[in-house]
């Protein structure tokens, strides 16, 4: 029996529904397996560190100028809340990414494919990944747009802005130690520059800021 590339190998499939589905699946995997667990760990670390700082009062600032006092745990608590809200926004956006256009084939009508193809694939993908994938109720919308991915891009930009803000707060408070604010001292993680061996840079906030950019 001859194997035909269209009639057998590519039976009932089209790049028009498979590629958008692959974008959604890969994004969900990266978010579910990597980003969201990392954000949960970051939030827990911030909350744990803040818990022991409730007796430290510091200067609050607006426009980098002295404003009213607040406790250090309150400031760090705000950072933790920023991360929590990003987690919630990303998790909410994943509800749309979990909707796959599989089975729509070329234009959304499902021409040439088995009517249960998309649903069967969604069940298998859910079983393999632990992520509850479903088939988009409107396959035409699922194939014709990338709105869910664009929306998630916006949530990731929001997260980047939050992390940039936290990194800059840490850099400002750690600045000095003599001519800067010098309110906190970040852990020393690597030696200073070749010309200034005593200078130690805040490399973790700097690295986070680069990723955010």
**3-state SS, residue 206:** helix
- On whether the CB atoms of residues 100 and 136 are closer than 8 A, the answer is yes
Q: Is 162 a catalytic residue?
A: no
Which one of 15, 54, 153, 193 is the catalytic residue? Answer: 193
Q: Is 4 a catalytic residue?
A: no
Supply 41's token pair: 């760990």
Which is nearest to 208 in space by CA: 155, 180, 152, 170? 170
Q: What sign results for the dihedral spanned by CA atoms 125, 126, 130, 131?
A: positive
Which one of 8, 63, 162, 167 is the catalytic residue? Answer: 63
191: phi then psi, degrees, rounded to nearest 5 = -65, 165
Round to whole Å and give the CA distance between 76 and 53. 9
Q: Which residues pair with 62 in a beta bridge?
A: 65
Annotated catalytic sites, by residue? 63, 193
């Amino acid at each position: 029996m001859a194997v035909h590339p269209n009639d057998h190998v590519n039976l009932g499939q089209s790049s028009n529904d498979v590629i958008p589905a692959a974008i959604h699946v890969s994004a969900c995997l990266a978010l579910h397996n990597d980003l969201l667990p990392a954000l949960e760990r970051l939030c827990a670390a911030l909350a744990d560190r803040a818990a022991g700082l409730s007796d430290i009062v510091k200067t609050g600032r607006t426009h980098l100028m002295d404003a009213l006092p607040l406790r250090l745990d309150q400031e760090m608590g705000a950072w933790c809340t920023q991360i929590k809200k990003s987690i919630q926004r990303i998790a909410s956006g994943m509800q749309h990414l979990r909707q796959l256009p599989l089975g729509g084939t070329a234009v959304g009508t499902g021409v040439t494919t088995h009517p249960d193809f998309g649903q069967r694939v969604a069940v298998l993908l859910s079983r393999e990944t632990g992520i509850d994938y479903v088939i988009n109720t409107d396959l035409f919308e699922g194939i014709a747009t990338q709105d869910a991915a664009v929306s998630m891009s916006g949530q990731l930009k929001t997260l980047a802005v939050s992390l940039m803000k936290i990194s800059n707060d840490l850099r400002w408070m750690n600045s000095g130690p003599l001519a800067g604010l010098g309110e906190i001292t970040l852990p020393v993680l690597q030696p200073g520059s070749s010309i200034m061996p005593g200078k130690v840079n805040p490399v973790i906030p700097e690295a986070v800021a680069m990723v955010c950019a």
